[in-house]
Structure 1
Amino acid sequence: MGYGYGAQYDSSDINSALDTGNRGFAEMLVPASDGLSGHGTAVASIAAGSRNSQSSGIAYESEIIAVALKRTGGSDGGYTRTIDIMEGIDYALRKAIELNMPIIINLSFGTNEGAHDGNTLFENYITDINGLWKNIVVVAAGNEGDSRHHVRTDVSGNINRTEFAIGDNEKNIRLFIWKYFQDEFEIYLNTPSGKRINISNDVTVSSQRENIESVLAMPTPYTSKQLVEVSIRPGNSLDYVISGIWSIEFAVTGTIKCGIVDMWLPTIEAIGLSTGFLRPSPDTTVTIPATARKVLSVGAFNQDAGSMATFSGRGYTADGRLVPLIAAYGVDVTAAGYGGGYVRKTGTSFAAPKISGYAACIMEWGIVRRNDENMYGEKLIAYMTRYAVGIEGEEMPGIRQGWGLI
């Protein structure tokens, strides 16, 4: 028997709420044009699509706020700035307050651009909205589990080298090196053509074989770590970055107080499958903003294999918090197709809206029907993780499944 601010109930009450599929209030943030991929259409339909014989959204009577996110720059469709996402969330949250309705904010996207410790401006923002209104933020854990895009190394020795491969037909590789400000060492980039470039500070190297630029970022009010961001582009006479084995070398020059360095490459949506670290660290592979505090991070379960999907982001945040917190079906999920019909979708992007739909049902039962008007935020996370079912062969809680499968 659980207790919540005057309301007493047990697991059968929660399960009955999940079975109703009734009213909640979900927010979906999608690109300004859903495009041929139909990502936003699929996500919305999984959480709250209409009920029929072919497919059914979890909370099929929910109301949806669909926020179109604008794109900035780039001939390939550009990108969406995190500040625009924050403005979209702010709009939806204000609308929920205006209508006096609880809201689930589903974020089915992720990036490797950050220290993965919950301290970016964006992560702090979605953490801070936890107490502003009756809401919960559900975030996909990302598809980086087996991508080889993260490595952690200890530079305490005199010389430490980390190798990574760049595959064919890459036009721009960005490498994010996060170090402790308290540690003193030089960083070198070794290229397949034999160059050894000191990238410890801002530097630009332009040649026929490669164009290298590194930028050093000092600690900010949001993070005490330092970032060295390295951009690797084709040489002046080439169309693509030189493929082959590259490496980062660390040479200690002073005091080492911690020695831990985390490095990330962009996500699989941005670079080819042949590009990655040769000896990766796969247990810190959840993407941002699923690494934020007070959000419900969601991994993908492979229902055909009966196990967690190998691509599902997993492990811990860079500061040691367990992520993801929960899992849902994320392989061959039936969803509405862009322009009509139904499609099959795979990824944590499509596991997250299942959890958003379940959250909508429970919040409707608790808040709208007044069984427990405090059923949101951390409290809702606590109950959903409590009643999740452990996956056979996985630890509880574990680095793959979190607290289990819903």
Structure 2
Amino acid sequence: MNDNERFKIISDDFADIVIEYNNNMSYFERFGEYSYNLINDKYAIIHIPAEALDENAIRNFGYFAIPKCYGLLTYLKEQVEREYTVRSFPEYNLTGSGVLVGIIDTGIVYTNPIFINADNTSKVKAIWDQTIDSGRYPEGMFYGTEYSQEEISHALASETPLQIVPSTDTIGQGTAMAGIAAGYQSEDNGFSGVAVGAELVVVKLKQAKNNIMDFYGIPQDTYCYQMNDIMMGIQYLMNLSRRLNRPIVICVGLGSSQGSHKGEDIMSNYLTESATAAGIAIVVAAGNEGDTSHHYFGEIVPPEPYDLVELKVGPLDRYFSMELWGYLPNVVTVEIINPDGDSVAVLRPDFVGQRNYTIEYQEMIIYVDSYISETYSEEQLILFRFKNIPEGIWRFRTSGTYDLISQYHIWLPIRNFLTSETYFHYANPFTTISIPGNALNILTTTSYNPISRELSESAGRGFTASFVPKPDIAAPGEHILVPTIINTFIPLSGTSLASAFAGGISAGLLEWGILQGNMPGMNSISIRYFLTNSAVRSNEHLYPNPGWGYGLIE
């Protein structure tokens, strides 16, 4: 990548794919003249012409290479009887002092008083705003604009700060997470962040490209973020941490339902590997898919010949994708039946490896990509991409392998990308942790109501599709008083807020472990151990628990 080619990173005339090159630069020769940008010495992004992202893209580049799309994990509940106020932990004398807290999200309203030091300088160490194009990008990133703490503090001294540092948060989730994790106390509102002594580093993600949103059938007016931009944001935070020689907590409050839910995909592997480094704590949200009816678990037990999946499609959801993942060695055959009861197509697996089909029915098109063994998960995958699907109850008759028990999962997109009128009948609330929450080594945080001490209904449930216990921990995430983009405070809910709470506690642990010399090699794995080992557990549950993980923190 160079300055003459970097326009491709943000241009909708080019699509992105993510590859694993393993520090082998000759690997890029197979992509000819396509431009590429390195994430680290293992992963890279290839920028291909947008027209290459067509019905054959997965066959040509692989399912794993097409960036997955992530959405926000915060929401406003209609009825809030009482809100919960986050507090710091002075009794432990740990404030996160000297630790960085990284937020990869929608940005930050840095002018909010809870992010301003007593001397009127900013507690935000740096901002990388991917949405502002300039030549002042972070080293090796080639897009966006980086603002230093000095520049932000200079802006705060001005009557028009946004004319000096024009980065802000127009959505709110990033500001809410930053406030919970490390915001100063607001006495008038009874608010305090958890790690008030930590400094913030913020990555404001750019919106996903239209071409990838069209590819998956995601509405254009939806807040949506690409996997590769998130990976670049994580890498930026780790690079900055090493350059400053300071430990960092990285909070990811975004989620996707695209993938095997085994923790075996490019994003999950990247996090699993990154979490082993000393001084790095990675905290991710478990997602809000527990009550959406967007997951179906099927089991075909001989002599029963088939299972029947019912999908209710709402009138506004004409374009979306759906993924079926089956457990090998059993393979699943799928017959698609329309709302009138007519058979539209039968998808029979073969052992070619990967096939793609285009099914046309009246005004509808279904693009189907079928794998006997997907590259990373080594499981059967059938990806459906519906274009102009009629509303009604669609049925999928699944049959298995002769006398073997066949099991499979089907996932719809996360709730942000569909209306509430599209869902499975007989849905299963388990195995609904949003990706990348199924990754190993990281701290996957689910949400509970700290007032009623009940698990949030929306919280994603475990375990992973490979039966690994997840989530790890439950943190306050319902009716949480948070800062807004207009410098007020309102109660919001969602596992992204729970991850910010756990991120603040992790900052205190890094202060104790690394900066105070008690555990110089502390990383995500050790923080996960400390928090799961010391979690509060109830006699009413067995642990690890698919809802609560290993217990709650408070």
TM-score, normalised relative to structure 2: 0.66
One-letter amino acid matched to 2:198: S
Contact 1:296 1:381 in 2 (8 A): yes
Which residue in the other structure is 1:88 paired with? 233
SS at match of 1:97: helix
One-letter amino acid matched to 2:245: N
Q: 1:256 to 1:65 in 2, by over 3 A?
A: farther
SS at match of 2:541: coil
**1:227 positional shift:** 1.4
**1:87 positional shift:** 1.4
Deviates more, 1:86-95 or 1:199-208: 199-208
Equivalent runs, 1:4-403 vs 2, <5 Å: 18-23=92-97, 24-31=99-106, 32=130, 36-53=170-187, 54=189, 55-74=191-210, 75-76=220-221, 79-156=224-301, 157-196=304-343, 197-200=345-348, 201-217=355-371, 219-234=373-388, 241-252=389-400, 259-391=406-538, 393-403=540-550
Could you list the structure 1 runs, at least 4 aligned residues long, displaced by more than 6 angstroms after superposition: none
CA distance in structure 1 between the aligned counterparts of 2:251 and 2:489, rounded to whole angstroms: 21
Q: 1:18 to 1:347 in 2, by over 3 A?
A: farther
Contact 1:180 1:259 in 2 (8 A): yes
CA distance in structure 1 between the aligned counterparts of 2:184 and 2:393, rounded to whole angstroms: 50
CA distance in structure 1 between the aligned counterparts of 2:228 and 2:100, rounded to whole angstroms: 23
5+ residue gaps, structure 1, are: 1-14, 235-240
SS at match of 1:137: strand
**1:334 positional shift:** 1.2
Contact 1:171 1:233 in 2 (8 A): yes
CA distance in structure 1 between the aligned counterparts of 2:428 and 2:287, rounded to whole angstroms: 15
CA distance in structure 1 between the aligned counterparts of 2:332 and 2:527, rounded to whole angstroms: 45
5+ residue gaps, structure 2, are: 1-88, 107-129, 132-167, 211-219, 349-354
**1:207 positional shift:** 4.1
CA distance in structure 2 between the aligned counterparts of 1:146 and 1:65, rounded to whole angstroms: 33
Contact 1:106 1:138 in 2 (8 A): yes
Contact 1:307 1:391 in 2 (8 A): no
Q: 1:16 to 1:334 in 2, by over 3 A?
A: closer
Deviations 1:163-200 (A, max 9, x none): 12112321313110012353344211111133322244
The alignment's C-alpha RMSD in Å is 2.2
SS at match of 2:418: coil
CA distance in structure 1 between the aligned counterparts of 2:366 and 2:403, rounded to whole angstroms: 27
Contact 1:328 1:405 in 2 (8 A): yes
Contact 1:184 1:256 in 2 (8 A): no
Contact 2:94 2:512 in 1 (8 A): no
One-letter amino acid matched to 2:185: R
Q: 1:19 to 1:283 in 2, by over 3 A?
A: farther
One-letter amino acid matched to 2:284: V
Contact 1:106 1:352 in 2 (8 A): yes
**1:216 positional shift:** 1.5
Contact 2:104 2:202 in 1 (8 A): yes
Q: How many pairs does the alignment contain?
A: 385
CA distance in structure 2 between the aligned counterparts of 1:37 and 1:72, rounded to whole angstroms: 15
Which residue in the other structure is 1:4 paired with? none
Identity of aligned residues (%): 27
SS at match of 2:316: coil
Deviations 1:356-381 (A, max 9, x none): 00000111122112122233321121
CA distance in structure 1 between the aligned counterparts of 2:539 and 2:497, rounded to whole angstroms: 22
Deviates more, 1:328-337 or 1:146-155: 146-155
